[in-house]
Amino acid sequence: MELAQPSGARYRRPHRGLIGKKEELSAMDLWGLKPGDQVHTVDGARVEVLKETEDGRWILVRYLESPNNPGIVGTEDLCHEDELLEPTSNNPAMS
């Protein structure tokens, strides 16, 4: 069975390593994120929001840091709400 891909981005499966853990993470509310905001991902990367969400589930980001996959730094991709953890502390909106 082939999975549908979001328009303009490659599909990445949700991080299944989090399922079944004692403390399950809830999906992040993407509606409050604005371009320029920085967010941590479940795999330890830091991304910058490039465009506001259009559907509340996906958001366009650019990778700023990725300790587990340095090759994606500088690339743009859609992130699903389940892939994002929390805004970083240097967001103007979070001050």
pLDDT tens digits, 4-25: 444 444 434 444 444 444 345 5
- Fold exhibited by the domain 27-88: SH3 type barrels. (2.30.30)
Q: What is the dihedral of CA 91, 69, 52, 17, to 10 degrees?
A: -100
For the segment 39-65, the average pLDDT, to the nearest whole number, is: 96
Helix or strand (DSSP H, E) at 3: none
- The structure's pTM equals 0.68
Report the distance separating Cα 62 and Cα 51, nearest Å.
Answer: 10
- The pLDDT, as a whole number, for residue 16 is 44
- 76-80 and 58-65: which strand pairing? antiparallel
Is the Cβ–Cβ distance between 82 and 91 less than 8 Å?
A: no
